[in-house]
Structure 1
Amino acid sequence: MQQALANDWEQRKLGELYKPVYEKNDLSFETDKIISVAAMRFNPEAVVSDREYLRTYNVMRVGDIAFEGHSNKEFSHGRFVENVIGDGIVSHIFIVFRPNTSYDLWYWKYAINNERLMRSALVRSTKASTMMHDLVANDFLSESIPVPSLSEQHKIGALFARLDSLITLHQREDLPPRCALATILSVKNATIITLERWISPWSSLEAPTSPNSYPKSAAARSRLSLAFAVAARHTC
């Protein structure tokens, strides 16, 4: 079972997966399309004194990634953030990288932002400065990380998209705190299991309604634990 799962993954150089792009804004994008990389949201409050200055901004399209270099307890050497909100523009201080190959948007949203997966590559491809880290693009592109096959990316990405939807639902509904907490913990556990142990997600994405329905196989339980977050509100 472990060998079969491992065959869906391989070490890939980041330079095979991404390329730096320097697409400048030709004023097709106005201030309402300025993206806050740290929050990955459009920032309509951004103030630009001269419209022509928007030409200095780099275009960041859906699926592109940019490096946010501020360090904190969660991200010791900064982090990459993927654009999942729509085409927009970012400050010229950000280098934008664009996918070179077919990819799953939702898988890479989490993978490229995962400290456990990316830390070693970032340790070797960043330089410390005051309160943040600067990325050395060529060093970053020469690093390698484990990458699943495209079909495996789609499975994992579909699961993460479901989890995102569930979290949004919890934020909108008046659910017991214990249910929301169980879901959030399950989401974190799912990320760790998927990216560190290379366990495929449960392919059907239909979560069990009771923990008693878990199979006895350890590998199957690991896969089901990913999907179980989807049903967390039903098992609280």
Structure 2
Amino acid sequence: MQSHITEIIESLKKELQKPLPGLKAQHEMVPTSRLNDLAKEPVNPKKGGVLLMIYENAEKLKLVFIQRTDDGGVHSGQISFPGGKFEPGDKDLIATALREAEEEVGIDASRVQILGNLTTMFIPVSNYMVSPTVGFYNGTPEFKPNPDEVAGLLEVTLAHLVDDKTKGPGLVDVRGRKFEVPVFHVEHHKIWGATAMILNEFIQVIKRANGAVKL
């Protein structure tokens, strides 16, 4: 691993131990009309974990997203992080995130170095309380997407994600209706909703870390 990559990873790990940008950063990617929904007290929410997995490719750091299959669920076809529901056999929500990533994209979870966690968030539409875990993959991941859950992968450099020009308004389709919401424009995809909220917080952490080490 290149020395500057090691420095960036160590810097990110340190930043994740500090007070996080939190809900303020997450709510920047929520339409104003939906903020009241997020303020409601969750009632018996399900628990879930997602993995923001960083890895090195061609001397650049990337983050992998999945496009969910169109299964008729509330998140069908959306761009998201690998992850899913907490199962009784999971030690904790970090274990949930690692297990789900292994199942969905075929990575070797034992090679993921945990760097820290972002702010837990509630997703009203699916009644999930989600814990985002940030990890670094030691080596080159050989992705094997599970076709039952994953329609495709989106691999994006951190340098591209922190570019402010990727963020702006965008039209999304929700059950046949069009809505304008805050999105990240990545290639021909729009990242929005809970994934965009988590991503926005992570980008702010990256920018803090990037003050010491350039991507």
TM-score category of the 2 structures, normalised to the smaller one: under 0.3
> Looking at both structures, which has the greater relative contact order when contacts are Cα pairs under 8 Å and sequence separation is at least 6?
2
The structure carrying a bigger strand percent of its residues is 2
Which structure: greater helix fraction?
1
Q: Which TM-score applies when normalising by structure 2?
A: 0.21
- TM normalised by structure 1 equals 0.20
Considering only CA atoms, is the larger Rg found in Structure 1 or Structure 2? 1
